[in-house]
Structure 1
Amino acid sequence: MARKNLDPSSSPRALLGAELRVARERAGMSQAELGERLFVSGTFIGQLEAGTRRMHLEYAKQIDEILGTDGFFARNCVAAAESKYPDHFAEAAEAEARATAIREYAPLTIPGLLQTEAYARAVCRAYQPTAPERVIDELVTNRLDRAALLAEPTTPLLWCVFGEAVLRCEVGGPGVMAEALKHITALIRAHRIIVQVIPFRAGAHAAMGGSLQLLASDDGPTLAYVQGNGTGQLFDDPATVSRHSLTYDLLTASALSPAQSLALIESVVEGYEREAAA
């Protein structure tokens, strides 16, 4: 019997996962068996069925072929994957929202979770200098919406390591920088986040190539997200994640202590405030 397309207004990813479970069980296959056919783990299949992982089109097409579902999953995975974030970041944003612990290294800009509106607007405008204002407004809104997870008093744990360039690069000017860094120091003093700074004098360190985010959750393995300019890749392979975890540990060893980092950030704020008042 032909299957109807899913209603995209009804949690499409969860519905698609439920349909996958039904189709797999109807075919008499375990999660591990289906995973073997797709060259992924049974855990990966379980995450698809639970709706905690996005089903990409290439997997959907293979699933249709293996389970004989007449193109159902290929037709519906696009609706299930809809996101307000860019394609390279969409899955990482979803993992971020589910995370119980986030460890992040930022070499040049304040991480999105910690940006103020003025800072986020300056960054988005720099990335897209000719975009209409409505596009910039939407980008800024989406970025600030991510920070809602910090409204919880303790979860997720957010531990950030900044390169000193994050403090020194005048995004939006001294007034914007003073506001942005004071927002961070307020969160530190409220014991909501942990921040360390790698000073310029530390020299070479383990993550000279770009930013890194490690995302731990209760419903899946720790993930590593590595991002470049307009690109990003999310890893769940244990060996790869372990390598990136070691990188993060090395970064914390190269950085100032949290107390020394707070003192440095507050001294930089004072400089920006004097500059803004001049």
Structure 2
Amino acid sequence: MTQGRKVASPAGQYFAEVLRLLRSSAGLSQNDLGARMSYTGAAVSAVETGAKPATDEFVAAAEKALDAGGVLRAASKYLRLERYPEHFQGFVQLEQEALSVTSFCTQVVEGLLQSEDYARALLRTGFPPLDEEEVQQLSAARVERARLLERRPVCVVDVILEETVLRRQLGGREVMKRQYEHILSCAELPNVNVQIMPMNCGDHAGLFGPLKLIETPENERLAYFEANGKSTLVSDPKEVGSYVRRCAMISRQALRPRESLELIEQLAEADD
């Protein structure tokens, strides 16, 4: 059976059309524009036909080469957004503007704290399997998403991880060692707090599953849940309030931040 060509996203199609119009208006061929951008004409063609998505680097080079006045650069955030699974795109927009993000994770490391190697290893476990291009695209999107940690104005990020998340050897020992080190590095930021729910805490408030909370610039609190490619965003204040209280209890039952980091350091050293 022949597999059909992948269709570009709506944002990708619009970017391609604007790129073609600007290039034509400038009287440039694809080869001419490619030369100005230090790309090949084939690379320009691939973006204009939707065969390949435009990377941030491509957008910046095209913006400069065509003196586009910010028209192409404005598309960057929408092109980045569409690197994520469709069910997650709306939440990413909210998360990137949030005043605070709180996560309780039971299966894998919170996406904002994932190293690129860990993200790739996780994505390769998907079923049906993703092709390598999709794995690279999604892992790059996760790295991009993590820029939130150093955003100005500051976003306060609180992450609570089940200890089992850290002991699961996803991708092998070397990948996990780098992941431990990455978490420790992130935790050095003054706006990032990491806690571990120890395995010997058998009856805690997080046994009903993972939970994520965000606080919007308007000081509205939202709760987000995701499982098996489906997601739910809760905005009802009464319901969200119960999740806020649950998260507060989970935090009280988890190890304190210093104890948590010491445990992660022990796990990293055990892999030496």
TM-score (norm 1): 0.66
- SS of the residue corresponding to residue 270 of structure 2 reads helix
After alignment, is 258-267 or 135-144 more displaced?
Answer: 135-144
**Secondary structure of the corresponding residue to residue 162 of structure 1:** strand
Q: Report if aligned partners of 1:225, 1:235 keep a CA contact under 8 Å in 2.
A: yes
Aligned to 2:105: 106
Query: How far does residue 244 in structure 1 lie from its aligned partner after superposition?
Result: 0.8
The runs of 5 or more residues in structure 1 that have no matched partner are: 1-7, 11-78
The CA deviation at 1:130 is: 3.0
Aligned residue for 1:62? none
Could you say which residue in structure 2 is the equivalent of 1:163?
Answer: 162
Task: Give the residue type in structure 2 aligned to 1:247.
Answer: R
Distance 1:143 1:83, change over 3 A: same
By how many angstroms is 1:247 displaced?
A: 1.1
Aligned-pair distance for 1:89?
1.6
Amino acid at match of 2:213: L
Q: Does the Cα contact within 8 Å between 1:211 and 1:228 map onto a contact in 2?
A: no
Q: Is 1:103–1:158's contact at 8 Å kept on the other side of the alignment? A: yes
Instruction: Output the amino acid matched with 1:104.
Output: S
Aligned residue for 2:266? Answer: 267
Classify the secondary structure of the residue corresponding to 2:196.
strand
Contact 2:155 2:191 in 1 (8 A): no
Q: Deviations over 1:7-55 (max 9, x none)?
A: x959xxxxxxxxxxxxxxxxxxxxxxxxxxxxxxxxxxxxxxxxxxxxx
Measured in 2, the distance between the counterparts of 1:144 and 1:157 equals 18
Distance in 2, matches of 1:187 and 1:153, equals 16
Classify the secondary structure of the residue corresponding to 1:155: coil
Measure the CA separation in 2 of the matches of 1:141 and 1:163: 25
3-state SS of paired residue (2:268): helix
Shift of 1:85: 2.2
Match of 1:184 in 2: 183
C-alpha offsets along residues 220-264 of structure 1, whole Å, 9 cap, x if unaligned? 511100122322211111011101111101100110111111111
Contact map agreement 2:122 2:170 (CA 8 A) in 1: yes
| Equivalent position of 1:137 in the other structure | 136
CA distance in 2, matches of 1:94, 1:196: 25
**Helix, strand or coil for the counterpart of 1:119?**
helix
Matches within 5 A, 1:58-97: 83-97=82-96
User: Does the CA-based 8 Å contact 1:210-1:227 persist in structure 2?
Assistant: no
Distance 2:260 2:105 in 1: 14
Unaligned runs of 5+ in 2: 1-12, 16-77
Q: How many residue pairs are counted as aligned between the two chains?
A: 196
> CA–CA distance in 2 between the matches of 1:263 and 1:134?
37
- For residues 69-102 of structure 1, the C-alpha deviation after alignment (integer angstroms, 9 at most, x for no partner) is xxxxxxxxxx9xx843223222111110110111
Residue number in structure 1 paired with 2:212: 213
Q: Which position in structure 1 is the counterpart of 2:36? A: none
Q: CA deviation at 1:202?
A: 0.6
- Report the Cα distance in structure 2 between the residues aligned to 1:141 and 1:189, rounded to whole angstroms: 23
Q: Does residue 129 of structure 2 align to residue 151 of structure 1? A: no
Q: Could you say if the C-alpha distance between residues 154 and 196 of structure 1 is closer, same or farther in structure 2, counting changes exceeding 3 Å?
A: farther
The CA deviation at 1:153 is: 6.4
Question: Which residue of 1 is the match for residue 68 of structure 2?
Answer: none
Q: What is residue 119 of structure 1 aligned with on the other side? A: 118
Q: TM-score w.r.t. structure 2 length? A: 0.67
Post-superposition offset of 1:120? 0.2
Q: Which stretch shifts more, 238-247 or 144-153?
A: 144-153
d(CA) in 2 for partners of 1:237 and 1:137? 36
Post-superposition shift, 1:192? 3.9
Q: Which runs of 4+ in 1 moved over 6 A?
A: none
CA distance in 1, matches of 2:217, 2:105: 25
Retained in 2: the 8 A contact 1:188–1:194?
Answer: yes
* CA-based RMSD: 2.1
With over 3 angstroms needed to count, the CA separation of the structure-2 counterparts of 1:132 and 1:83, relative to structure 1, is closer
Q: Quote the Cα distance in structure 1 between the aligned partners of 2:94 and 2:209.
A: 20
